[in-house]
Chain A
Amino acid sequence: MDCRLVTAATASEPAGDSALVHAARQGDRAAFGNLYARHARMVHGILLAKVPAEDVDDLVQDVFLKAMPRLSDLRDVSRFGPWLAAITRNRANDYHRQNRAVAAVTESLSEDDSEVPAASTASDTEAAMILSHVRSLSETYRETLILRLVEGMTGPEIAARTGLTPGSVRVNLHRGMQQLREKLSQSASGAKGQSGFDAEKNAAAQKQSNLRKRNEP
Chain B
Amino acid sequence: MNDDYLWDGSGEPDPEIQKLEKTLAKFGHQGQAPEFPEMVVTRRPRILQWGIGLRWPQVFAAAAALILLIVAVEILRWARHPAANSGSGWEVERVAGTPRVESNATGKTGGNGKLGIGQTLVTDSHSQANITVAEIGTVNVEPNTRLRLVDGGAGHNRLALERGTIHAFIWAAPGQFAVDTPSAIAVDLGCRYTLQVDDSGAGTLRTTLGWVGFKLNNREAFIPAGAVCATRPKIGPGTPYFDDAPKSFCEALSKFDFSASTPEERSAELDKILAEARPRDALTVWHLLARVEDAQRGRVYDRLASLVPPPAGVTREGILSLNQKMLDAWWNQLDLGDVFLWRTWERSWSQEKRAGS
Among A31-39, A186-194, A196-204, A206-214, the one that faces the other chain is: A31-39
Extra inter-chain contacts (12) besides given A61-B34, A79-B154, CB under 8 Å: A4-B348, A25-B41, A27-B39, A37-B33, A44-B28, A44-B31, A86-B171, A87-B135, A138-B341, A141-B338, A150-B28, A181-B16
Contacts A25-B41, A44-B28 given: A154-B136 contact, CB under 8 Å?
Answer: no
> B140 to nearest A CB, angstroms?
15
> Which chain A residues (118-135) contact chain B, with CB distance < 8 Å?
123-124, 126-127, 130-131, 134
Residues on B with C-beta less than 8 A from A89 are 171-172
Among B17-25, B122-130, B194-202, B238-246, the one that faces the other chain is: B17-25
Residues on A with C-beta less than 8 A from B26 are 124, 127
A40 adjacent to chain B (CB < 8 Å): yes
Q: Is the CB of A127 within 8 A of B27?
A: yes
- Contact among B8, B24, B344 with A3 in the assembled complex (CB-CB below 8 Å): B344
Residues on B with C-beta less than 8 A from A108 are none
Q: Is the CB of B351 within 8 A of A102?
A: no
Residues on B with C-beta less than 8 A from A102 are 209
B51 adjacent to chain A (CB < 8 Å): no
Contact count band on A = 35 or more
Residues on B with C-beta less than 8 A from A180 are 20
Q: Is the CB of B20 within 8 A of A64?
A: no
Residues on B with C-beta less than 8 A from A154 are 7-9
CA gap between A8 and B4 in the complex, in Å = 22
Q: Is the CB of B173 within 8 A of A140?
A: yes
CA gap between A139 and B174 in the complex, in Å = 10
7 contacting pairs across A/B (C-beta < 8 A): A4-B352, A83-B135, A127-B26, A139-B210, A173-B3, A177-B6, A180-B20
Q: Is the CB of A175 within 8 A of B34?
A: no
- Contact among A27, A90, A127 with B38 in the assembled complex (CB-CB below 8 Å): A27
Q: Is the CB of A68 within 8 A of B39?
A: yes
A72 adjacent to chain B (CB < 8 Å): yes
B143 adjacent to chain A (CB < 8 Å): no
Residues on B with C-beta less than 8 A from A149 are 17, 20-21, 24
B56 adjacent to chain A (CB < 8 Å): no
CA gap between A115 and B37 in the complex, in Å = 32
Q: Is the CB of B172 within 8 A of A86?
A: yes
Q: Is the CB of A60 within 8 A of B29?
A: yes
> B282 to nearest A CB, angstroms?
18
B345 adjacent to chain A (CB < 8 Å): yes
> A94 to nearest B CB, angstroms?
10
CA gap between A181 and B210 in the complex, in Å = 24
Q: What 1/0 flags go to B86-98 for Cβ under 8 Å of A?
A: 0010000000000
Q: Is the CB of A7 within 8 A of B28?
A: no
Residues on B with C-beta less than 8 A from A181 are 16
CA gap between A119 and B236 in the complex, in Å = 57
Q: Is the CB of B33 within 8 A of A138?
A: no
Contacts A32-B36, A154-B8, A164-B173 given: A9-B28 contact, CB under 8 Å?
Answer: no
Q: Is the CB of B27 within 8 A of A126?
A: no
A109 adjacent to chain B (CB < 8 Å): no
Q: Is the CB of A65 within 8 A of B34?
A: yes
Question: How many residues of B are in contact with the other chain, CB < 8 A?
Answer: 53
- Contact among A65, A115, A130 with B36 in the assembled complex (CB-CB below 8 Å): A65
Q: What 1/0 flags go to B108-147 for Cβ under 8 Å of A?
A: 0000000000000000000000000001100000000000
Q: B41: nearest residue on chain A (CB-CB)?
A: A27
- Contact among B8, B171, B174, B176 with A90 in the assembled complex (CB-CB below 8 Å): B171
A77 adjacent to chain B (CB < 8 Å): no
CA gap between A27 and B36 in the complex, in Å = 11
- Contact among A28, A64, A130, A174 with B34 in the assembled complex (CB-CB below 8 Å): A64
Q: What 1/0 flags go to B148-169 for Cβ under 8 Å of A?
A: 0000001110000000000001
Q: Is the CB of A3 within 8 A of B351?
A: yes
B79 adjacent to chain A (CB < 8 Å): no
- Contact among B7, B27, B173 with A150 in the assembled complex (CB-CB below 8 Å): B27
CA gap between A164 and B172 in the complex, in Å = 10
CA gap between A171 and B348 in the complex, in Å = 15
Residues on A with C-beta less than 8 A from B169 are 93
Contacts A4-B352, A90-B171 given: A29-B39 contact, CB under 8 Å?
Answer: yes
Q: Is the CB of B6 within 8 A of A33?
A: no
A81 adjacent to chain B (CB < 8 Å): no
Contacts A41-B29, A103-B225, A131-B24 given: A138-B348 contact, CB under 8 Å?
Answer: no
B347 adjacent to chain A (CB < 8 Å): yes
Q: A170: nearest residue on chain B (CB-CB)?
A: B7
Contacts A7-B175, A8-B155, A130-B20 given: A156-B8 contact, CB under 8 Å?
Answer: yes
CA gap between A83 and B210 in the complex, in Å = 22
